[in-house]
Amino acid sequence: MVAKRPVAFRGVLVPLLTPFNPSGSVDKQSLKKLVAFVLKGGVHGVFACGTTGEGPNLTDEMWDAVVETSSEAVAGQVPVFVGCIDTSTQRVIEKAKKLRKYAADYAVVAPPFYFSPDNQDEIVNHFKAVAGASPVPVYVYNIPQLTKCHIEPETIEKLAEIKNIAGLKDSSGNFPDFCRVLSRLRGRADFAILQGEEGILAPSLLMGANGIVPGCANLDPKLLVELFNAAARGNLFIANRLQYTLIDLRRELFIGPSVFSSLKAAASVLGLFGKNVTMPEPNISAAQVQKIKGVLVKYGVKREAKSLKK
């Protein structure tokens, strides 16, 4: 069993999009290109098979391909987090047990969905079982809008005391509860607190969060790294300015039928990979792709913004 790491993760953890071939298989070459792109942008870690990566929609074969390809592309440069998100504790454990084989560093685990836990004790029992069986440290993933159960701050405090649980990724958008967690656990050398809701990244960092998990880092990693660095320096003016820029960018960018379709359309405009999504996620229209192209030019999101004007 691997013990918790002595130093908590800090920085920008990019939740990788999952590129697909037209046939529906994982586009491994494009995934490698995406990893190289975000690493060049200065991110501090990558997160495969999360919500942004359509993790719960992937078949076992697709999940294995994403984890293996991501880890190989990273090649030890930064930590690799992997979403082990499924409908039962045992299915989550089966995924977590594969991570040593793929040289991944952390398992990101949500409460089971569909038959969701009815109370906080069931949530604790789930994480105890997973942490006890996982060969790598576990991050608690709080995303109640999808799992249909909210992990209370008091429960997170209990989970932080369990061996092999190394941190929290909170995507609930519940800032008061997030601050309650920070008030109890910030400063712990062995437990990282990460914010996944892009609308409150700067305030979360300024309140003491260790890091952020922004989907838009797939498109503009440097913007998010600059935001993190500004907050780490205590530069309120720059951190707020970049946060407002991100809020405006998201408002204009997310015009597709789903977040995935909008992000992937933007990635296709940037020349990273195609815009295919997993069923039943809907595809984006050609007209919407053109609007997204204009948004990327407006906000200077690039690899090469000048080429986008053609």
Structural domains of the chain ordered from first start: 11-235 (3.20.20.70)
Of 102, 139, 141, 299, which one is the catalytic site residue? 141
Residue 308 has pLDDT above 80, yes or no: no
Is the torsion defined by CA of 175, 112, 99, 129 positive or negative?
Answer: positive
Are 209 and 184 contacting, i.e. CB atoms less than 8 angstroms apart?
no
Task: Give the separation between CA 47 and CA 49, rounded to whole angstroms.
Answer: 7
- List the single range of 123-127, 194-198, 233-237, 299-303 with lowest mean pLDDT: 299-303
Of 169, 264, 275, 293, which one is the catalytic site residue? 169
Q: Which of 125, 48, 126 is nearest to 84 (CA)?
A: 48
pLDDT at 307: 46
β-bridge partners, 193: 168
pLDDT-based confidence at 139, cuts 50/70/90? very high
β-bridge partners, 14: 46
Which of residues 8 and 212 earns the better pLDDT score? Answer: 212
Average pLDDT over residues 17-39: 97
Give the 3-state secondary structure of residue 46: strand
What pTM was estimated for this model as a whole?
Answer: 0.95
pLDDT at 303: 55
Are 168 and 142 contacting, i.e. CB atoms less than 8 angstroms apart?
yes
Residue 164 has pLDDT above 90, yes or no: yes
pLDDT at 310: 42
pLDDT at 143: 98
pLDDT at 283: 85
pLDDT at 1: 42
Give the 3-state secondary structure of residue 171: coil
User: What confidence tens digit (pLDDT) does each residue in 44-98 have?
Assistant: 999 999 999 999 999 999 999 999 999 999 999 999 999 999 999 999 999 999 9
As a whole number, the mean pLDDT across the chain is 94
User: What confidence tens digit (pLDDT) does each residue in 262-297 have?
Assistant: 999 999 999 999 999 998 888 899 999 999 999 999
Where do the DSSP E strands lie in 23-150?
Answer: 45-48, 80-83, 106-109, 138-142
User: Can 169 be counted among the known catalytic residues?
Assistant: yes
User: Can 141 be counted among the known catalytic residues?
Assistant: yes
Taking CA 215 as the corner, what is the angle to CA 213 and CA 217, rounded to the nearest 5 degrees?
A: 85
